[in-house]
Chains A and B, each alone.
Chain A
């Protein structure tokens, strides 16, 4: 059978860096194919080549047996390819509907046929249970909802080959299951699906075939039947092994209370509301907040950053400095046109002279100690791979030595090895006596790092597990996961 896609000796170079180095492999028609690899391995670059956004320096691309030279995404779309980008391609000022129909507008006369569009979109929303309102402005949606808009764009277009670049990085476990249901449906209706993810469990769950890239080269290829998480983990990192640091959890409360929110509420300003938030952050303690995204996490963070102020209850903020790794790295965490060094210096308070040598030194430290993969020191942050951008931001915020550090999805889009490294760093931060707030949709991450766990639902802190309790509950992680999972969706609340 002719494969849906075949890459033949694809090479793509940025400066001296070979992002794709002579890559050849094929993707079967009507299959779910996973592409794996470390941050900066070249996954997104290869997908952008397939989608016509980048042109390869050499090599050939076949789609449905036909050689193609896609010059723009327009060409790829015409050949039946669609892509959900790692960093969303949404127009904030547009409604969901406008974002979905753009480039594919139903027309009646000289006018866009909004009625037909609305109906078609509502049908897809209902069929796939996406829970979106076509008239909402995209800028008001949470990251997970924006991901659903991207999905909706694809479902509306009915392409035959669909690329998903790390779609699950922003989803909670429940949402990942829903997403995989949709993938299965798409496959059943004949689509070919390419999925990029760093979560090996997901690969085992859904892939039919996998390809692993390492430093731009294809290093491994296998059928689903031949793989397990161990094999994949080894293939991804290559020879270098890594150790998992021992986690130590607190058993008692941290001493100094750096922030106290009591019955805190917020009725306007934020997009979703807070109504009863009880939260104490303590020095030398990691407080984890778990909940489905959009239940008030961002508002709590904004209160701690003093971007919002509470309207009911009290917020006592006793820290002198605060750092944050934001949930949306592109919009809130960095200036894409600036280099790493410039992004670091911009973050610093006070007067700094940005001499080239100094910028180089600043970025050198971070690049070395956090293993940030970049073509060179002066590559704009926007040109780093997603995971490496994230690492740079985490590095910058940790190095800032603030009294309170907020990590919002710290390992979003970060590969396994680097995630472990970041986890270690977070524990170091705690051990150095600073207060940490961890917001994440990754339960494993929360369970691993949190000394204290708070469940958030619908703007309320519905449950708090004290250090000692948490430690003992985690001994039976499976039943604890079920319990927390229920609380997160509002079940089991008196």
Chain B
């Protein structure tokens, strides 16, 4: 029991927030896309592309700022491509997403071999430094965690209080109605997808940064879990925040229990987030309703 309590330490909390960050950026990014009616399962791919480009630029230039910006740009370009397919050419969102995921993962594997003559991981590089003045706060001194925290109220504000958000939601709910009022449907759909790509890049950058390397398969399906978190969070920023925190908590707990050894089988802990997910999906914890025209090409 003592063992069990000891896990709730500062170190444990930092671990939770470490897990939390990529989930959160993926999930909140996904919400921008889906609020505009584009289902984006390419989030997994977007995590890979940003983690990879951050790592490569960092290794070659040593500049964190430059690698950060390039990673964002890479994701912006990829998501514009994704938007051209899904919004302009009206391809099926899921099929396009699967295509992007396979393509990006494959490309990253290829480029790793090409640049570094290895198939597993890149050389190590410097991580994003923490903010000095905040270093007394163990996990809040990481810039990207601060960004994550700020993104919650900011996104809620954007979705529900701004013109952009109202119009974005309107094209996800009923594009015909939005168009009949003069709303430029395509513009908002594309904007949602591109914002998704850029926001998701923070998650990928974070993954690479705190592990000081890019390794093959490091995203480990986090993009899909992020999507689940978005759905359970009902496409609402505050809910998404807490759902991601819950996922991260259980994941950190599982790792911890494996280390210290415990009478609770770690597989049980490991499955808790998924049990919660299933409970939510079958309607035990309130109904979830996606944007009415989510996934419908327009």
CB B123 to nearest CB in A, in angstroms, measures: 43
Contact pick for B173, options A74, A92, A104, CB 8 Å: A92
Which of B161, B182, B289 has the largest count of A CB atoms less than 10 A from its CB?
Answer: B182
**B residues contacting the other copy or chain, number (CB 8 A):** 22
Stretch from A82-90, A312-320, A341-349, A448-456 that touches the partner: A82-90
Which chain B residue shows the least CB distance to A153? B181
Interface string of A97-138 (1 = CB under 8 A from B): 010011111010011101000000000000000000000000
**B181 adjacent to A77 (CB under 8 Å):** yes
Contact pick for A72, options B157, B174, B182, CB 8 Å: B182
**B163 adjacent to A107 (CB under 8 Å):** yes
Contact pick for A91, options B157, B161, B177, B182, CB 8 Å: B177
How far apart sit A94 and B292, CA to CA, in the bound complex (Å)? 11
**A103 adjacent to B183 (CB under 8 Å):** yes
**A residues contacting the other copy or chain, number (CB 8 A):** 27
Chain B residues contacting A101 (CB-CB under 8 Å) are: 166
How far apart sit A110 and B181, CA to CA, in the bound complex (Å)? 21
**A98 adjacent to B166 (CB under 8 Å):** yes
B170 contacts chain A at the CB level, 8 A cutoff: yes
Chain A residues contacting B161 (CB-CB under 8 Å) are: 111-112, 114
Contact pick for B176, options A89, A92, A93, A103, CB 8 Å: A89
CB A146 to nearest CB in B, in angstroms, measures: 12
Chain B residues contacting A78 (CB-CB under 8 Å) are: 182
Chain A residues contacting B162 (CB-CB under 8 Å) are: 110-112
Give the A-B contact count at a CB cut-off of 8 A. 72
**B179 adjacent to A72 (CB under 8 Å):** yes
Which of B167, B180, B184 has the largest count of A CB atoms less than 10 A from its CB?
Answer: B180
CB B207 to nearest CB in A, in angstroms, measures: 32
* SS class, residues of chain A in contact with chain B: loop
**A73 adjacent to B181 (CB under 8 Å):** yes
Answer whether A90 and B174 are a contact pair too, CB < 8 Å, given A53-B180, A74-B182.
yes
Answer whether A102 and B178 are a contact pair too, CB < 8 Å, given A107-B163, A112-B162.
yes
**B179 adjacent to A73 (CB under 8 Å):** yes
Q: Which of A352-370 contact B (CB under 8 A)?
A: none
CB A150 to nearest CB in B, in angstroms, measures: 10
How far apart sit A222 and B167, CA to CA, in the bound complex (Å)? 43
How far apart sit A112 and B176, CA to CA, in the bound complex (Å)? 22
A-B contact pairs, 23 of them (CB 8 A): A73-B180, A73-B182, A74-B179, A74-B184, A77-B181, A83-B180, A89-B177, A89-B181, A90-B174, A91-B170, A91-B173, A91-B174, A92-B173, A92-B174, A93-B173, A94-B173, A102-B170, A102-B181, A103-B167, A103-B183, A111-B157, A111-B161, A111-B162
What would 19 more interface pairs be, CB under 8 Å, given A112-B163, A153-B181? A72-B182, A73-B179, A74-B179, A77-B182, A83-B180, A85-B180, A89-B180, A91-B170, A92-B173, A92-B292, A93-B292, A94-B169, A94-B173, A98-B166, A102-B167, A103-B167, A105-B166, A111-B162, A114-B161
